[in-house]
Amino acid sequence: CEGLGRGGAGMEGAGGATDWRLALWTLFSVLLPVLITVWCSFQRSRRQLLIRDIFRKSKHDWHYTDLFGQPSYCCVCAQHILRGAFCGCCGLRVSERCLKKADQRFLCKEIMTRGAGAAQGSVPHHWVRGNVPLCSCCVVCKQQCGTQPKLCDYRCAWCQYTVHDECMVDGLKTEECTFGEFKDLIIPPYYLATINQMRKEKRTSYEKVVPYCSKHWMPVIVLANTRSGNNMGETLLGEFKMLLNPVQVFDLSKIAPAKALQLCTWLPCNAVRVLVCGGDGTVGWVLDAIDEMKIKGQERYIPQVAILPLGTGNDLSNTLGWGAGYAGEVPVEQILRNVMEADGIKLDRWKVQVTNKGYYNLRKPKVFTMNNYFSVGPDALMALNFHAHREKTPSLFSSRIINKAVYFFYGTKDCLVQECKDLNKKVELELDGERIELPNLEGIIVLNIGYWGGGCRLWEGMGDEPYPLARHDDGLLEVVGVHGSFHCAQIQVKLANPVRLGQAHTVRLILKSSKMPMQVDGEPWAQGPCTVTITHKTHALMLYHSGEQTDDDASSLSE
C-alpha cells in the first residue's frame, strides 16, 4: 500500500510539473509576439523621430514614400529601393538608412545665390545622378537615358537636361545653365540675390538687372491649395518645385496668398503670371489678395491669373478655357507651356451686399465679392446641405466623384421635398431699378460667367432660342429663374431652357418673409428677410487658354 501511495504521489508530482511547464510555454508563446511587436513599434517610432528631425533641419525638401512610382535607386549606396525619401526640389532619392549621408553629401537647388555667383549673373548646372525621367534623351548623343537597371546618367535640376555617364565631361560639369525650356518662367537665384542687395542699398533701378531687362521674361508664381478637390495639390507642389525655383511655389495651407504675392514687388511690372492650383473658392481667395495689393498702392505689380482646376465645380476655370477639372492627365510641363501661351483678358468682379431687415439698421450689412454667380433656391440648398455634411466629416470629401455624388443625392431629395417652392411669392426682383414680374419659380440665379453647376451653360440652355450674348467682361449680369431641382437637371443635359429674366448692371432682390438658402460662388448660408444688392466692384486680370475650347465656346466667340 505504501508503495502504491508513493507511486501515486510521484505521478501527481510529475503531472504538476508538466502542467507548470505547459503553462510557462503557453505564457512564453503569448508574450513573445507581444514583446516583439512592442520592440518593433518602439524602433519604428524612434526611426520616424530621427527621420523627422533630419527633414526639419535639412535644406532639402524631403518627403517619405512607401512606394516609388518608378524604378528607383539610392543615390548613396546605388541599391534598388522600393520605398524611402525623395527631395521635392532637386529629385534626390535615398533609402531610409542612407538618408543622413545623402543629406550631408548632396546640396539642394539654391533659391538665392550667395557670394561670387550673384555678381557673375549665372548659375552652373546642378547635376543629380540617377533616376532620370523616363523617355529622356541625352543632350550630347541624343540617345535615350536611364535605360540600364542601375544608378546611372545625370539630370540637371534647373534645365532638366539629361546626360549619359559616358557623355559627361568636365566642361559640362562647370558649364553655365541656361534654365532650359522654361527660362522665361524661372526666377534665377542670382536675380533674387541682386535685387536683395539693391533693396538693402535702397536702389530701385531694377531695369538693368538680368533677366529683368529681357522682353520675354514672364516669371510665374504657383499658389497651390493642397486641400482642394481630389487632393492633388501636394503632388503638384513637388513637380513645380522640380521645374522652377522653389521660391516661386507656395502651399496656401501654410502661407496666405497676400503674403505670397509680395514676391511680385521683386519682379518686373505687369509681367508676372500667377498659376492658382485649386477650386473656384481658392481663385476667389487669391483675387481678394490681389485687390488688397491695389489698396496698398501696388497696382503696377498686379499679376495675371491662370487656373489649374482642382476643385469640384471649376466653373470659372471652364469659362476661361482651363478645363472642368484636372486629374493628372496633362503633364506639368504642358501646363507651364499653356501658361506661357495664354492671352490676357478681364473678368468682372461684383459686390454683393446683404442687408438684414429690422434690427433698426444696427447690424452691419454682410458684404461678399462675387466672381461666378449668386443664387437663392434649390442649388443654394444643395450647396448648404453639402457644406454642412462636409463640416461634420471632412475626411469623406477627398474625391471629386464623391463630392458630385453627394450633390446628386441632395438634388434628388429636393425634387421630392421641394423646400424652396413659391419663391416668387417671397421675393421681389429689380433689374437696373425696374421691377420684374416673376412667374412661378423655386430659384433665381444671377450669373457673371458662362458656366454654372459644374459645366452647364445655363444662360444658353438648349441653344434653340434667340438670346443676348453673355460675356464675363461686359459689366452685365445675366439673371435666370428655375422651376426646381429637376428643371436644373434638365437644363444640364440640354433638355430644357431656363427662365431668362434679363440682363442688368445692378440687381436688387428683396426677400420679404421666411428663411431661404443663398450662396455666393459656392459659399452657402441660410438667410432671413433681407435686401440683396449686386453692383460692379472691379476688374481682375485673368489668363484665357484657347486650347481647351469646346464647340460651344467656339460658336460663342464667333458670334
All structural domains of the chain with their residue ranges: 60-108, 116-124+179-341, 125-175, 350-539
Going by C-alpha positions, the residue among 68, 105, 104 that lies closest to residue 86 is 68
- Per residue in 375-386, pLDDT (tens digit) is 998 888 887 877
Contact 512, 539 (CB under 8 A): no
Q: The domain 125-175: what is its CATH number?
A: 3.30.60.20
For residue 279, count other CB atoms closer than 10 A to its CB.
Answer: 28
Q: The domain 60-108: what is its CATH number?
A: 3.30.60
DSSP secondary-structure letter at 207? Answer: G
- Per residue in 18-51, pLDDT (tens digit) is 778 888 888 888 888 888 888 888 777 777 788 8
pLDDT in the model for residue 353: 95
What CATH fold (topology level) applies to the domain 350-539?
Answer: Tumour Suppressor Smad4 (2.60.200)
The two beta strands, 273-278 and 220-224, are parallel
DSSP secondary-structure letter at 461? Answer: T
Contact 43, 60 (CB under 8 A): no
116-124+179-341 and 125-175 have identical folds: no
* pTM passes above 0.75: yes
Could you give the CA distance from residue 22 to residue 25 in angstroms, rounded to a whole number?
5
Could you give the CA distance from residue 258 to residue 264 in angstroms, rounded to a whole number?
11
- Per residue in 128-137, pLDDT (tens digit) is 999 998 888 9
Query: Any idea which residue has 495664354 for its cell?
Result: 342
CATH class of the 116-124+179-341 domain in this structure: alpha beta
Could you give the CA distance from residue 186 to residue 282 in angstroms, rounded to a whole number?
23
Could you give the CA distance from residue 557 to residue 559 in angstroms, rounded to a whole number?
5
pLDDT in the model for residue 415: 53
What distances in angstroms separate CA 433 from CA 386, 509, 534, one per listed residue? 34, 11, 12
pLDDT in the model for residue 304: 96
Could you give the CA distance from residue 24 to residue 385 in angstroms, rounded to a whole number?
60
pLDDT in the model for residue 402: 63
Report the SS3 class of residue 161.
Answer: coil
DSSP secondary-structure letter at 179? Answer: -
Where b means 16+ CB within 10 Å and e means fewer, 162-180 reads: bbbeebbeeebeeeebebe
- Per residue in 514-549, pLDDT (tens digit) is 889 999 988 889 999 999 999 999 999 999 998 744
pLDDT in the model for residue 460: 86
Going by C-alpha positions, the residue among 340, 206, 347, 222 that lies closest to residue 269 is 206
Determine the residue type at 223: L
pLDDT less than 70: residues of the chain: 1-16, 115-120, 213, 229-231, 359-362, 387-418, 548-559
Query: Any idea which residue has 521683386 for its cell?
Result: 266
**C-alpha 339: how far from chain center:** 16
